[in-house]
Structure 1
């Protein structure tokens, strides 16, 4: 086996079968470019973070301007204008009832914060609720709490001694919705559940599996009935991916705790927030210092990242972002039709700007052998598409046009045809 000359250990990469990484020098709009001028269409928004396109001018200018004023300051006992403005705007635009904003630096850490908020809430209220519920097939990140509430398997098997127990609910696929709700009701009925955490409307790394707003709404109702907290992990689903600004809007629910990241800065810089109800903050508010919320990172609420996020919010306010998402959605709908009667494909599906389809095969799931072959086939056609095993998905930046997306769908037909 030939090892790469680079000392970098890349994420989710088996270097023995993928020794060389593609060196990217520039990015603009929906495209990446290598130093020698090769252009690659970013059909997955660089792991779902880029919303308006690479290097949106308004966000880039905000980053430059903030860098000239303040780069970093401790956020314990200090604050700064970009964070204050951003927090107020987030409270105003997220579902009503979310009143406090805790900053972190990634989707995984925003989930850690949410879980710690939930457990701290019950402890400080003097109630012994420590159970956490999650959906089968879920993915909530790669930190210890995130892995614990995610699906157990190849992602986290070596780290099992570190993980805490979590009760699983069956995924509410079509025809199985009642089983999910019954399991949720039964689990919450014991009075020991601290919180349910879900990816609203669609599982991400779990295979781009979609469920209905009605089910999401009913899960929230069951939690309310039994007093369990409802955590919405909108790290991927937020910022327009499902067709609305936040996925919870479609179910008309306000989570008790919500996690947002990825598109928060338009994909330019790492930043995350966890929003919560006032009573969750109040449970930690005390002259007793032992009730402090003990969580931080050195770069909490980095001013430059907050400035990028503010610029992103201004783009949402001033530019027709939802119309662009709707246009991408229409292209998906039209292009997916060609695969619905093709027996090589199954479970053709779409929500908002996300489209997905599975290659019909007995070798299914994230570790399906066809996944790396598909990836290389797409890359050879200058397309960044990173299949989840036998699941091909497209999640492009909102600036993508019909012609660019047509290249993607033509490549799916060609690459699968060559492999099969």
Structure 2
């Protein structure tokens, strides 16, 4: 009897994320990956132009990280992190403090980006509760995205994800992202919000809103908003889950700011996609508010896999790679190549706007399409048919490749996008 292919077996029992299965086509089965390449069950290769949701920044099956994971699992595979500790978590906290903004002082472990945000929001709310204050309002940007758990979803502003749950979310007020031409108006709106509400925290993606379509905003403007919030003692939470670990040209997007966030959330490239792990870091001031002779003032929030030794080992190795000469050279090359490609296509009749920062390139097409509509799916499949994995966000095509992508592979990504511009 002929063995069923992976697509047929997949359809029997699996429910995929962000998928309307009544309308969607079969999922593409990937059997192996190496470097910047993915391979399907028929052996066809695809360039991973988005580093599988910006995680595998040092390439698939990175041998240095695999070696670290292998060694770690032979020494200490897993142990709970409540009442116990271990060398990989301690070493990772020490290494992170060397590269995080200087006001960060404590590391709290979670297991994915959403739960890193969830912990941050709970920290902020309890920070004031422990002081006898009831602050019930969050501030967030319009069109932001912070994850799919309830606190993270509350801070998010994309109705395509939040629609059925709007009546169950935390209280959030939204402001536009700051640009050079609207900063005065945004600051005025923020001042009014701060005056009229009991605000606990301002949650934001620094400089780049990922799921919104890689939309950029002003570092100077964000700095001003953080400064204003801090005048009101409102805690500032930077969601660096997408932007962290070199993607905007610096280790963290927050490194572009004078006013540093009180809390920073990290995941994705933290472990280079090798293991689910996330971190919520905070300042000493926040940590101190939870120190008390009253037990209930501690932060009673936990995940079974917090500080998983394997994830910590992967993260430690990733940090070593991040600023290595080889990776630094590739990051610089990609940034320059993006600028060169942008200059070539920015005046194309099908290009509404194009922008780049660090290794992030985004192109808004002069075509109306739904975020998950049929035309967007046609564009996605157009890229796949040509051996390139890009995942358009509505009419925004973005490139965020692994740092180790070869010059030839990157050029193929550009050539495929150019072909799409001339086709759609």
TM-score bracket for this pair, using the shorter chain length: over 0.9
Q: Distance in 1 between matches of 2:421 and 2:148?
A: 31
Alpha-carbon distance, 1:172 to partner: 2.1
Q: Distance in 2 between matches of 1:36 and 1:368?
A: 28
Name whichever of 38-47 and 309-318 sits farther off.
309-318
Q: Please name the residue that 1:43 is paired with.
A: 49
CA deviations over 1:173-193 (Å, ceiling 9, x no partner):
452232222222222234621
**Please, what is the CA RMSD of the aligned residues?**
1.7
Alpha-carbon distance, 1:61 to partner: 0.3
Assess if the C-alpha contact under 8 Å between 2:245 and 2:322 holds in 1: no
Q: Please name the residue that 2:67 is paired with.
A: 61
Q: Give the TM-score taking structure 2 as reference length.
A: 0.94
Q: Distance in 1 between matches of 2:325 and 2:22?
A: 45
1:384 to 365, 385, 389: 389
Alpha-carbon distance, 1:326 to partner: 1.4
The 4+ residue runs of structure 1 with deviation greater than 4 A are none
1:359 to 338, 343, 365: 365
Alpha-carbon distance, 1:322 to partner: 2.9
The answer as to 2:384 corresponding to 1:406 is no
The gaps in structure 1 that reach 5 residues or longer are none
Q: Distance in 1 between matches of 2:41 and 2:66?
A: 21
In the alignment of these two chains, the number of paired residues is 417
Q: Distance in 2 between matches of 1:323 and 1:223?
A: 37
CA pair 365-206 structure 1, distance change in 2 beyond 3 A: farther
Q: Please name the residue that 1:216 is paired with.
A: 222
Alpha-carbon distance, 1:370 to partner: 2.2
CA pair 359-174 structure 1, distance change in 2 beyond 3 A: farther
Q: Distance in 2 between matches of 1:44 and 1:125?
A: 44
Q: Please name the residue that 2:133 is paired with.
A: 127
Q: Distance in 1 between matches of 2:349 and 2:400?
A: 23
Name whichever of 171-180 and 105-114 sits farther off.
171-180
Assess if the C-alpha contact under 8 Å between 1:220 and 1:255 holds in 2: yes
Q: Distance in 1 between matches of 2:74 and 2:304?
A: 21
CA pair 28-172 structure 1, distance change in 2 beyond 3 A: same
Q: Distance in 1 between matches of 2:10 and 2:42?
A: 20
Q: How do residues 198-347 of structure 1 correspond to structure 2 at under 5 angstroms?
A: 198-347=204-353
Name whichever of 153-162 and 53-62 sits farther off.
153-162
CA pair 132-5 structure 1, distance change in 2 beyond 3 A: closer
SS at 1:284's partner residue? coil
Q: Please name the residue that 2:378 is paired with.
A: 373
CA pair 365-257 structure 1, distance change in 2 beyond 3 A: farther
Alpha-carbon distance, 1:200 to partner: 0.3
Alpha-carbon distance, 1:16 to partner: 2.4
CA deviations over 1:11-51 (Å, ceiling 9, x no partner):
11222232311111211111111233211100000011111
CA pair 43-152 structure 1, distance change in 2 beyond 3 A: closer
Q: Distance in 2 between matches of 1:300 and 1:353?
A: 30
Q: Distance in 2 between matches of 1:373 and 1:177?
A: 38
Q: Please name the residue that 1:417 is paired with.
A: 422
Assess if the C-alpha contact under 8 Å between 2:118 and 2:149 holds in 1: yes
The answer as to 2:399 corresponding to 1:394 is yes
CA deviations over 1:230-265 (Å, ceiling 9, x no partner):
110000000111111100111233210000111101
CA pair 275-136 structure 1, distance change in 2 beyond 3 A: same
Q: Please name the residue that 2:4 is paired with.
A: none
Q: Give the TM-score taking structure 1 as reference length.
A: 0.95
Q: Distance in 1 between matches of 2:154 and 2:184?
A: 25
Assess if the C-alpha contact under 8 Å between 2:35 and 2:61 holds in 1: yes
Assess if the C-alpha contact under 8 Å between 1:3 and 1:15 holds in 2: no
